[in-house]
Amino acid sequence: MAKLELLPAVDVRDGQAVRLVHGESGTETSYGSPLEAALAWQRAGAEWLHLVDLDAAFGTGDNRDLVAEVTRAMDIKVELSGGIRDDASLAKALATGCTRVNLGTAALETPEWVAKVIAEHGDKIAVGLDVRGTTLKGRGWTRDGGDLYETLERLDKEGCARYVVTDIAKDGTLQGPNLELLRNVCAATDRPVVASGGVSSLDDLRAIAQLVPLGVEGSIVGKALYAKAFTLEEALEAVAE
């Protein structure tokens, strides 16, 4: 059985590595330098980094130069997201050397552009399906963007390579992942799925790893690592079993 990939997260707001609760602006807990956080995950054995420019996602400015610096400093694969919504922001993101980008709002608001960049860049493009219930959310998770399964069907037809599925109700809460949502999305698409939101324990990661045969390829881990619920080394060992 393929191993579950783990993607430790570094979310950047106002130049700092932060965690939010339910993705809500104003709930930030700060964890210092994004570069130091990213290097710490790399030293601990991460093969991937999930790097988010939260200001760009919220429309409160951006940390583009900083996330580019962090990406360039990494020897590991980087999934870059936040505010990648047009040709200029996509070109800048891809120029960092990241392995892939994750598009959120654009997939909801400018579907023609997303279809075009999927056709041009293939698996360098993932789409983030950030949901409350089955309603997609864009613009810093503040604006409704349509139905999850209708959008998934459209993106599948356009050749989208993979999806990053976040249950907003779980994100940053340490309440455990939404396994039912992950199972439902895997049943609706044959593309790989990266799970996001709610991981609180090594048992949560083992439960997500059980979904690998269904199509779950990886899991983002954020708050649990920063809150020291377990170490990244322990997490990597747990999913290697």
Ligand X SMILES: O=C(O)c1ccccc1N[C@@H]1O[C@H](COP(=O)(O)O)[C@@H](O)[C@H]1O
List the catalytic residues: 11, 130
In this chain, which residue has its C-beta nearest to ligand X? 104
- Calculate the dihedral angle through the C-alpha atoms of 24, 35, 240, 213, rounding to the nearest 10 degrees: 50
Q: Which residues of 163-190 are buried (b: 16+ CB within 10 A; e: fewer)?
A: bbbbbbbbbbebebbbbebbeebbebbe
The nearer residue to ligand X, 106 or 216, going by C-beta atoms, is: 106
Q: What is the DSSP string of 71-130?
A: HHH-SSEEEEESS--SHHHHHHHHHTT-SEEEESHHHHH-HHHHHHHHHHHGGGEEEEEE
Task: Count CA atoms within 13 Å of residue 154 on its CB side.
Answer: 15
Site of interaction with ligand X (CB under 6 A): 11, 20, 23, 52, 54, 56-57, 81-85, 102-106, 128, 130, 138, 140-141, 171
Q: What is the DSSP string of 30-47?
A: E-S-HHHHHHHHHHTT-S
